[in-house]
Structures are given as C-alpha cells and as structure tokens.
Structure 1
Amino acid sequence: MMDLYFRGTMWMILVLFTFLHLTSSNSCPSACRCTDKGAAMCVGPTITDVPPLPRHTYLLQLSGTNMNVINERSLANLDLLLRFGLMQSHLHTVHPQAFHVAPQLLSVKLSSNDLSALPPRVFSPLTALEQLHLNGNQFENIHPDMFEGLGELKDMDLSRNNLRSLASDIFDGLTNLIFLNLGRNFLKKLPPTIFHSLTNLRHLTLYHNELEVLEAGIFDKLINLEELKLHHNQIASLPAQVFWSLRNLQILTLSSNRLQAVPVKSFYNMPKLSKLTLYKNPLLSLPVELMGHMPDMREFYLYGTNLTTVPGNLFTNMSGLLMLNFNLNDNLRDLPSDVFCCLPKLQNLSLKFNNLHHLHPQLFSNLTTLNKLHLNDNKLDSLPENLFHGLGEILEILLMNNNLKSLPGDIFLSNTALKNLSLSGNPWECNCAIRDIARWIRHNEHVLFDRDDVICHSPMYQVLRTLGSLRDEEFSFCSVKTFKISFEPTQLLHNLSTVGQTSPLTSITTSPESSTLQGAAQSTQGATQSTLEAIQIVTNKTTLSAVCSTEVSAKLAQDMSPPFYDTLVLEQGPEFVHHNLHKGWVYVWFLPSNTTLIGFFMFCHILLVAAGLLLILATMYGMYRLSKAMNKLKAECSHDEG
C-alpha cells in the first residue's frame, strides 16, 4: 500500500514539474508579442539580447532595441527559428560564430543599424539561407568571402550603405540569386564581369549611385533579367549594344543621368520591354534607328531633355503603348506630322511644358483611343481646324497657358465624349473671329471647367469679359465692308461696289477686322456741311453712287480731310465715341449698343451728377452757416469792448 502511494506521489510531482517547465518555456516576454503559430515581435530599449521565447518560435523580429551585439549564444535554444530580423537597434558587432547555433535560418535581416564590417564567412553556416538584408548600414567595403557558401541565396539587399567599389568576384557562387539591390550607395564604376555568375537574376537595382560609365558586356550573362534600374546616376555614354542580351527585360530606367546621345539601335532585341524612362537627360538628338520591336511597351517617359525634335518613326514599333509622357522639353519646337502614326492603343499623351509653336493638322488623326491630351504651357498661337477630328473617345484636353487668340468654331465638334476642357491663360482677342468658339462655349459650359478664367485680353472695351458671356448680337457688325475712296476733283462720278468691282476711279478695300472702324460716313461740319447738300446719294442693292459737279467736287476735295473721309464704313454698328488717325486709317472707339449696359452707364452718370450737386449745395450751406457764426462772434466781441 505504501509502495502504491509512493508511486502515485512521484507521478504527480513529475507531471507538475513537466507542466511548470512547459509553461515557463512557452511564455512570451513582456516586451514581445507572440502568436500561437510561432511568430514573435519584440520592441523597446529594454531589450539588450534575444529574450527567452517559446521553443516553437519560427519568426523573430526585434526593432528599436539596445541590442548592439549578436553574440555566439544569442540565437541558441531556438531550434525551429527560420527567420530572424534585428533592425533599427544600433547593432555594430556580430560574433564570428553567431550563426553557428542556428544553421537552419532561411532569412536574416540586419537593416538600419551601425554595421561597418562583418567577420569573413560569418554567414557560411547558413547553407539554406534564401534572404539576406544588410541595407541601411555603414559598409564601405565588403570582404569577398562574406557570401561564401550561400549557394541558395535568392534575395540580397545592400542598398543605403557607403559602398564605393566592389570586387569582380564578390557575387561568384550566388547562382540562384533573383533579387539584388545595390541602390543608394556611392559606386562610381563596376567591373565588367561582376554580374556574370548571376544567370538567374531577375531584378537588379543600381539607382542613386555615382556610376559614370557602364562597361561593355557587363549585362551579357543576365539572360533572365526582367528589371534593370539605372536612374539617378552620372552615366554620360552607353556602350553599343550594351542591353542586347536582355531579351526578357520588361522595365528599364535610365532617367536622371547625363546622356546627351544614345547609340544607334540601343534598344533593339528587347521585345518584352513594357516600361522605358529616358527623362531628365540632356539629350540633344535621337537616332532614327533607336527602338526595336516592342509590342508590349506600355509606358514611355521622355521629358526634361534638350531635344528640339524627334525622328518621325520614334514610336513606330510601340504598337501597344498606353501612356506617353513627352513633356517638359524646353527646346522642343517641332513634331513630325507622322510621329504618332502607329499608336492605336494610346490612352494618355502629355505634351505639356514644351516649346511647341505649331501642330500639324494630322498630328493626332490616328489616336482614335486617346482619353487624355495635355497641350498646356506651350507657345501655341493657333490650332488647325481639324486637329482634334477623329478623337471620338477623348475625355480631357488641356490648352491653358498658350498664346491662343482664337479657335475655329467647330474644332471640338467631333469630340462628343469630351468632359474636361481648359482654355484659361490665353490672350483671347474678342473680335469677330471669336464669335463661333464663343457660341460653342455658351452651349458647352459644363465641359469648360475653368470657364470663369477664360477672359478677353483685347480689344479694350471687352477686357476681362469671359468668352461665355459674349452674345451673337454683339457681333452683328462683323459683316461690315470697308471701302477706300479716291476722290478726283475733275471726275463727276464715283462708284463704290460692294461686290468687289473696281474702276480707275475707285479703290476698294474690304477688311474682316474692320470692327474698329464703326459708324456710317458722317456729314462734315462748317463749310463741308454746306457742300454735301449739293451731293445726291443714289443707293441700290450693290452700288452707292455720288454725283456732283466739277465745282462741287473741287470744293469737296478742298474742304474734306482725306485721311478721315477716304474710308467709308457701310454698317449700322455700335455708336462711336472717339476716333484716332493712324497710318491713313481712322480708328473709331465705340461702346456696345446694349440697352441694359447703356442704361446702367446713364444711371451712374446721373448718380455722379446728383452727388456732385449735393456736395456743392452742402458746401454752400456750410459757408452760409460759417458766415452767420462769424458775424455773431464779431457782434459779441463788439459788445464786450463797449
């Protein structure tokens, strides 16, 4: 009986001990958050080493700690740990045998620390390692043996360090590497064979370095590369055919370099390319043979250059292009008429902030799928009538900040899907030529989103009026005919033909801009008035005849002022209020014959006159009161003296 009791007690003690051991080994430290599946994340300055964690932990991330050293026992007792990260913790030292206790690791991230050197072969025990991130540290050099034994490595990040050079064999043996990031360092030159062992590499990032040249053949072995980022360097020239081996390349960025020219056929043999950037290079010209067959090209960026024009076939091989940013080229003045001939799928085209003065009438005729067209901030002073014809799917056209003074009235007639149009920032001339486009604006105000800023800059009487406020009746004088009459004293008959007939006695000019010469011929004053009484004016449908005697003609020629009277305007237009003589023409300033406006001006005039009269009366009354006060004061002074 005693033996049975003793055995039961021992079993209870064993069970209790096992329970306490399991409880203590599976507890999560207070500075950490642990999941049932084995992930642990620890944050805070109280952490100076890897804390005790549940034995089933497979992922450990430490951030913002005071763990400055990884010693030889830091990762002990974590036999199931596969992914380890220590970031933003001012780590500066790693023991040479730190990873010997955790050879099963698949991922090591030591990002954003103070590491400037690592022991040779420190990662060699990690034969299964697939991911290694050392970005954001202080490395200036990397020992060639550092990556020895990492044959399974697929992802390496060395960006944001102080690397200035790399050994040619630094990546030898990393035949399974897929991602390599060397961006944001100070690399000036790379050995021509540095990437030759990386035959499986798909993503190579070299942006934000100081590369001045690319060695010939440097990419020859990267036959599986899909993305190559070279932007923000100082590359001034490209070797011929440097990209020809990259038949699987999809993204190539060469922007923000110092390229003034690109070799002929530089982008041949790249049929899978979908995105190419050449912007912010001081390019002076591009060769005719530049782009090879690129049916999958979707985005092309060519802005911030010194180009004055481009080859007409530049985009010919990009039949799948959807977005073309061809803007911010200060010297780009001209575009070939067929430069956009072969882009049947293009949706967005940006030509803003260039130096374009004119556009060919057929420039956009083949862009039937275009949705957005940005032409703002150029030097365009006119647009062809059929420039936008055929753009049936266009939703947005931006034309602000150009030198446009007028537009053809039916220029947007075929753009039935148009929803967003901008015309502000142009020096619109609100004369007869503006009538048709002003009418279109009135009928389509919902399309013009900046309609309140589309205003007249001339003539003076229309300044600051919006184009949408101009009415058809204000342009009733636009059919005016201007005639120039040469009076001959010895002639008895002068004929004016409104159908363009001329005779030796008559000089006729008809000007569509004669809206500034308004009003019918006015009778002269003084002696001229009495002379004109002798003239009989005979008018029919097309002819105005003046018959006068020789004496009358002589008197008329003597008394009339030729610069004023040799121009006759046949139109009952707005009343003129002033005229000026300039180069033989009389410019008549007038106010629009708008009853409401004239009534408003008359009311203002009467109001001003009434205000003036009130001020005069108030002044007179004030003087009267002042005089009485002075007289009273004098009388009181005299009385006091008496």
Structure 2
Amino acid sequence: MSKQVKEFIVMTSAVAYLLPHTLKESPQLTELVFLNNALRSIHAQAFEDLTQLQELEISGNPWLENLYMGTFSRQKNLMKLLLNFNRFKTVLPGMFDSLKQIATLQMKGNLISHLPMFLFLNLNNLLVLDLSQNKLEEMKRETFFGLTRLQILKVNNNLISNLTCDTFKNISQLTELHLEGNKISELTDGIFSGLTRLNVLNLRGNLLTTFSQKVFGFNVSNLRELNLKGNRLTELSSLSRLTSLTDLVLSSNQLSSLPEDIFRNVTLLENLDLSENQLSLLPELIFYNLSAITSIHLHKNNLRRLEPKLFNDQWLMQQLYLSDNQLETLPPGLFDLFIVEHTVRLHGNPWRCDCHMWYLHDWVLRNNNIIQREDSVRCNSPDFLRQRVVASVDRDQLVCRLSADEMPDIRSCSIKAFNDAMIVKCQVDKCSPMTVKVQFQEDDGNIKEHVLRSERSECSNGTRSEGSLMIPEY
C-alpha cells in the first residue's frame, strides 16, 4: 500500500480473520473501515501498528461475537469508533480505557444485554454514545461514570423497563436523550431534573400511561422536542413549565380529553401532533396565546365539533390536519385568521351538507389549492347528496329542511314594495320580540346576513298586535 494512503475501506469481502500486525506496513492510516464483511475474529494485536488512527469502523459482521482485551490499546488518537451490527453479547471491562480522545462511540445493533460498571470511566471527552438496538434491560448510574462531557445518549430499542431516579445523575451535560422503543411504564418525579441542558427527549413507543412535567423537577427546562408517540397515555397534566418547547408529539395514544391549561406558557410551540387519539372535544382556549404554532395534527380522532375561537391565535398556521374525525360542520370564520398559505386536510369526516355548511362550502371553493385530497371531502348527509364531493355541490342545494311541526306559520306575513324598500308585515299573537333574518347574495357569491329585531310588543292575554319591519335595499 502506498504511504500516501490515509483511508482504507474494505467492504463486502470474504475476509474472516484479522491477524497480528496485518497492517504493519501502513502506520500512516488515519481511517480504517471494515463494513459488511465475514469477520469472525480479530486478533488483539491486529491494529497495534496503527497509532495514527482517528476513525475505526468494524460493522456488519454477522459472525463476529467478541473482541479481545487490548484490541484498541494503541489507538490513543482515535476520535470515532463504530462497532455496529455485529453479534457482540458482552463488552469486557476496561475495553475502552485507552481511548482518552474518543468523541463518538457506537455499538448499536448488537446483542449486548448488560454493560460492566465503570466501562466508560476514562472516556472524559466522549460526546456521543449509541447503544441502541441491543438487549439492554437496565441502566445504572455507575454505567455512565466518567462521561462528564456526554451530549447525546441513544439507548433506544432495547428492553429497558425501569429507570432509577439517579440513572442520569452523572451525565448532566446531555442535550439529547433517546429512550424510544423500550418497555418503560413509569417515570419517577424528578428523574430528568439534573438534565438542565436537555433539548431533545424521545420516549416514543414505550408503555407510559401518564406523563407529567414533574419528571423534570422544579428546574427551568430547556427542552425543545418531546416525543411521546405510541405509548398508552390516557392522562396528561399541564406542561406549562416547558416554556422552551417547540415540538411536541402526542400521537398514537389513548387520550380522550385534555385540560384547558395544558399548554399554558408553552408560547414557543411550533409543531403539535395529537393525531390518532380518542379526542372528542377540545377546550376553546386550549391553544390560547400559542401564536408561534405552524402545524397542528388532529387527524384520526373522534372530534365531533370545533369551537369557533379554537384557532384564534394561530395566525402562522401552515399545516392543519382535521381528517378522519366525526366532524359534520365547522363554525363560520374558523380559518379566516390564518395569514400565510397553509395546507388543510378535511377528508374522512361525515360532512352534513345543509345550510350550516355554507361557510365551509364557500371556503373550500376559494381555497381548493391548499386542500389535500379535495376530491375526498364528501357529503355524508342528506341522502340526496351522499358521497358528493363538497366542492361540486351547488350552494342552493345546501338547505335545512324542517319538519311540519317546525315549519313556521307565515300565512300572516306579507311582502310589499314601497319606493326602494321591501316591507315585511306580519301579525303576531305572542307577547315576545320578533326576529327576521335577511340574506343578501353579492355578485361574487358572498352572503351577507342582516338580523332585524322588533321591539317587545306591549300586549296582554287575548290581544293581537300588528307590526312591520322595513328592510333596506342592498
């Protein structure tokens, strides 16, 4: 090998054994990679002459079950060691003691079930530790002794079911903690209280039934991303102390309701995912003062109606997913405050195409370019419009039909034209105010409604009063 070669990569070969001093003639190497080979054994002195190595990878060897003590004893300049997707079941104590400069250590995708105490004691410069996709059942405080600068810890997709209150006490500099895909069913109060620099916490795919901000203790939390997707959450208390939170994922749980103050003070929140739960109603002020939100996912719930002011503070909305709920109509003006172009999903709801549909119908026609799967936004009732695409329904067809019992008696009313005004004259025989609603349709199809109320009639039993309302010309 030329002395100019600094990086040497062996991929998908039949190499099964690395013998002592195999690369003795290439001490200049700074990067050595064995990827997806057939390695079965690596001699403890295989890398003894490679004192300049900065990066070493031995990954993807399905028959490599162990490493011998001293294998990395001469790699004092090593910055990155990747030992992924082999068949390691154990790691010997002291295996990494000589790697005082190492910043990244990965051992994901092996069969490691436990780690010796003080295994990383001398790795004071380690920043990233990846132990994901193994068979780890527990983590102890002693496991992380010495990792005073560790920033990213990945222990996701293991078999961890229990975390003690002092598990993370020795790694207070963590900014990312990945615990997803384990069997954690409970978190004790204050378990993350020492992690004051934590920005990302991923607990996706565990067995949690409740979650509380008490897990962060009473310290100010810098958490920006919290992922609780795919747990068994039925209860969620206030998150008001997570004032730095920008991304919150609560999807695929069993939440049927949320407290009104759950997001109070979480004013930096940008992305909120509540999809695939059992929510039937959201408090009108649940998103109050969350003006930074750009994305709210509410699809695949049981929402039957939305409050008129639900999104009053979300001017910057870019994604609003309401698909696959039980919505029959939307309150007028629900989307009118959004000031940027956004994407909306409305399909999969049993829309009732009657007079209460006017607002949504007109909004769909005006905004068909931002509605995803517009042709799937269909009427569920009445029968004569069932399965019709909402945008294809003529506005005149959106009527509310009254039963004979509900039909008012209008035989006592008359309409007369007088100069440039229309006069509606009705006789009433009840001592109560009368309300007349008049709707004017402009050339562009917009509807403006005027509500006219008469003064309370002064009458007594057995008397009849007559009144008239003048409707100005529009």
TM class by shorter chain equals 0.7 to 0.9
Conservation of the 8 A alpha-carbon contact between 2:350 and 2:381: no
CA deviations 1:162-184 (Å, max 9, x no partner) are 00111121111111111111000
Counterpart of 1:211 in structure 2 is: 160
Contiguous gaps of at least 5 residues in structure 2: 415-425, 431-435, 437-465, 468-474
In structure 2, the CA distance between the partners of 1:245 and 1:455, relative to structure 1 (3 Å rule), is closer
Greater per-residue strand proportion: 2
The equivalent of 1:132 in structure 2 is: 81
TM-score scaled by length of structure 1: 0.60
* 1:158-207 superposed Cα distances (whole Å, 9 cap, x missing partner): 11000011112111111111111100001111122211310111111111
Query: Is 1:320 equivalent to 2:268 in the alignment?
Result: yes
**Structure 1 partner of 2:237:** 287
Please report how far the alpha carbon of residue 156 of structure 1 lies from its aligned counterpart in structure 2 after TM superposition. Answer: 0.7
Structure 1 187/180 Cα, relative in aligned 2: closer, same or farther at 3 Å? same
Unaligned runs of 5+ in 1: 1-52, 406-427, 486-494, 504-509, 511-540, 543-642
1:374 and 1:475 mapped to 2: Cα distance? 25
Instruction: Considering fraction of residues, name the structure with more helix.
Output: 1
Q: How many residues align?
A: 420
* SS across alignment from 1:110: strand
1:170 alignment counterpart: 119
**Corresponding residue for 1:9?**
none
1 CA distance for matches of 2:13 and 2:400? 83
Q: Cα 1:402–1:243, aligned 2, differ >3 Å: closer, same or farther?
A: same
Q: 1:136 to 1:291 in 2, by over 3 A?
A: farther
Q: Which letter does structure 2 place at the counterpart of 1:246?
A: L
Query: Which residue number corresponds to residue 368 of structure 1?
Result: 315
Change in CA separation of 1:198 and 1:450 when aligned onto 2, cut-off 3 Å:
closer
1:345 to 270, 292, 302: 292
Tell me if structure 2 keeps the 8 A contact 1:207–1:231. Answer: yes
Between structure 1 and structure 2, the one with the greater Rg is 1
Give me the whole-angstrom Cα distance separating, in 1, the residues matched to 2:96 and 2:364: 69
Q: Is the CA contact (8 Å cut-off) linking 2:270 and 2:292 kept in structure 1? A: yes
Deviation of 1:461 (Å)? 5.0
Aligned sequence identity (%): 26
Deviation at 1:148, TM superposition (A): 2.1
Asked whether the equivalents of residues 233 and 254 of structure 2 are also in contact (C-alpha less than 8 Å), the reply is yes
**1:300 counterpart SS class:** strand
Q: Which residue of 2 aligns with 1:403?
A: 350
Separation of aligned partners in 1, 2:146 and 2:294: 41
- CA drift at 1:386: 3.6
1:242 is aligned to 2:191: yes
Residues 110 and 445 from structure 1, CA distance in 2 versus in 1: closer, same or farther, beyond 3 angstroms?
closer
Q: Give per-residue Cα distances to partners, 1:559-590, cap 9 Å, x unaligned.
A: xxxxxxxxxxxxxxxxxxxxxxxxxxxxxxxx
- Secondary structure (helix, strand or coil) at the match of 2:153 reads strand
Equivalences for residues 468-487 of structure 1 within 5 A:
468=391, 470-471=393-394, 482=407
Whole-Å separation in 2 of the counterparts to 1:177 and 1:214 = 22
Higher relative contact order (CA 8 A, sep 6+): 2
Q: Deviations over 1:308-343 (max 9, x none)?
A: 1122222223322221111110x2222222211131
- Counterparts of 1:254 and 1:387, CA distance in 2: 34
Q: Can you list the C-alpha shifts for 1:7-47, whole angstroms capped at 9, x where unaligned?
A: xxxxxxxxxxxxxxxxxxxxxxxxxxxxxxxxxxxxxxxxx
Answer whether contact 2:251 2:276 (CA < 8 A) is retained.
yes
Matching residue of 1:275: 225
Structure 1 segments, 4+ long, off by >6 Å, are 472-481
**1:392 maps to which residue?**
339
> Amino acid of the residue matched to residue 335 of structure 2?
F
- The aligned amino acid for 1:363 is L
Structure 2 counterpart of 1:364, which letter? F
Once the two structures are TM-superposed, the CA of residue 483 in structure 1 deviates from its matched residue by 6.1
Amino acid at match of 1:224: Q
Structure 1 residue corresponding to 2:34, chosen from 64, 72, 86: 86
Q: What is the letter of the counterpart of residue 56 of structure 1?
A: Q
| Structure-1 residue corresponding to 2:170 | 221
TM-score, with normalisation over the residues of structure 2?
Answer: 0.80
The RMSD of aligned alpha carbons is: 3.2
Query: Contact 2:375/2:389 (CA < 8 Å) preserved in 1?
Result: yes
CA–CA separation in structure 2 for the residues paired with 1:274 and 1:312: 21
2:129 aligns with 180
1:541-560 correspondence to structure 2 within 5 Å: none
Contact 1:372/1:394 (<8 A) preserved: no
Residues 395-434 of structure 1 mapped to structure 2, 5 A cutoff: 395-405=342-352, 428-429=353-354
Contact 2:361–2:391 (Cα < 8 Å) also in 1:
yes
Cα contact 2:151–2:175 (8 A) shared by 1: yes
Which deviates more, 109-118 or 96-105? 96-105
2: CA distance between counterparts of 1:476 and 1:232? Answer: 51
